[in-house]
Structures are given as C-alpha cells and as structure tokens.
Amino acid sequence: MGVPHRIEYQDTYSVVMDKIPQGRTFCALCSRRRRGHLYRIAREEGCSAVVSGHHRDDILETFFMNLFHGGRLATMPPKLVNEEGDLFLYRPLAHVAEEDCEKFSRAMGYPIIPCDLCGSQDGLQRQQVKKILDGWESNSPGRRQVMFRALMNARPSHLLDPKLFDFQGLALK
C-alpha cells in the first residue's frame, strides 16, 4: 500500500521459554516483551504514539480476566498514556466487535494472524473467558455490547473503592 513501515524481528519465544517455569502460561511475559519492543521502536522512530488492534472483545476479555484472576475492575481503555508518560497508546478498534474485524479483514483480503507464538497453549485463562462470553452471547444475543456499554457507564458510588468515592464523608442533605 506504499505506507512506510519497519519490520522488527525479536526472539521473544526463547526468552519467554527460558523465564517461565514448565506448566505456567506465557501470555503475560510475552505480551509485556512485545509491548516493550513496540514502545522502544516507537521511541527510536520518533513517534509519540503506538496504535494497537485491540477490539471490543479483547477489552471485555481483559476486563473479566482482571475481575476473575486479578481482583480488580480494569481493562484496556481506547486511549492511554504509558507508564513512562512519553507515549500515547491508541486502540481505534475498541468499539468494534471481533466478528466485524474478521469480516472486514476477509473482505479486504488481509491476513488474520493468530497469536500462536507458544503453539497456542491449551486451557489458558483468556480462552476460558472467551468461552464464557461466547456462551453468554449465544444465550442472549447482544450481551457483549451491553457489557461493553456498562464499562462506559461506571457508577463509583455504587462500587466499593474508597479511592473513587468518599464513603467516609458521605452525608445526608
């Protein structure tokens, strides 16, 4: 398409295999390593932002992964500043369903590249969450979109986080 680009080859697989004990999942370290490479390359190229292809379903899966396994209400926002404070991270497909991304990619003849660096380990937490969401969606079509809208409609006073709402200072009118 004539778009200037850079292809970077890094042996993430060997590093991950070396650091992660047998029987543990590779995803967390692998994603941190890939993100680190993207941030480094963005800096080397003089960029102020990194744009990812995360879609609505990735965001929902991450929310439930954090809920079920991390004990926190968090996900990937459409726009964020990285921890170092020097790069924006944009997710322009944040409101787009995975199914629609796949349909568009096929219509355009774009390749769909799976995340299978590790040979796609079985029983991953993300796979389990995806199955749960698929089940909910098949039982109640549109459920994913309703849950996604809920992420944009948080009510801090109806959660339990005292950093988000002053429960101690709550008073009657």
Q: How many Å apart are CA 49 and CA 152, to the nearest integer?
A: 23
The pLDDT assigned to 71 comes to: 93
- Give 80's strand partners: 89
Q: Is the pLDDT higher at 69 or at 139? A: 139
Q: 35-54: per-residue pLDDT in tens?
A: 999 999 999 999 999 999 99
The pLDDT assigned to 118 comes to: 58
Mean pLDDT for the stretch of residues 156-165: 93
Whether residue 119 is predicted with pLDDT greater than 70 in this model: the reply is no
In angstroms, the Cα distances linking 137 to 66, 75, 133 are 20, 20, 6
Whether residue 80 is predicted with pLDDT greater than 60 in this model: the reply is yes
Cβ–Cβ under 8 Å, residues 105 and 14: no
Q: How many Å apart are CA 21 and CA 28, to the nearest integer?
A: 13
Whether residue 15 is predicted with pLDDT greater than 90 in this model: the reply is no
Whether residue 105 is predicted with pLDDT greater than 90 in this model: the reply is yes
4: exposed, middle or buried (C-beta count within 10 Å: 0-12, 13-18, 19+)?
Answer: exposed
Q: Is the pLDDT higher at 58 or at 26? A: 58
The pLDDT assigned to 162 comes to: 94
The pLDDT assigned to 23 comes to: 73
The pLDDT assigned to 141 comes to: 96
- Give 49's strand partners: 88
The pLDDT assigned to 124 comes to: 75
The pLDDT assigned to 64 comes to: 95
- Which residue pairs from 101-104 have beta carbons closer than 8 angstroms and sit at least 24 positions apart in sequence? 101/53, 101/55
Cβ–Cβ under 8 Å, residues 72 and 113: no
The pLDDT assigned to 112 comes to: 79
The pLDDT assigned to 50 comes to: 96
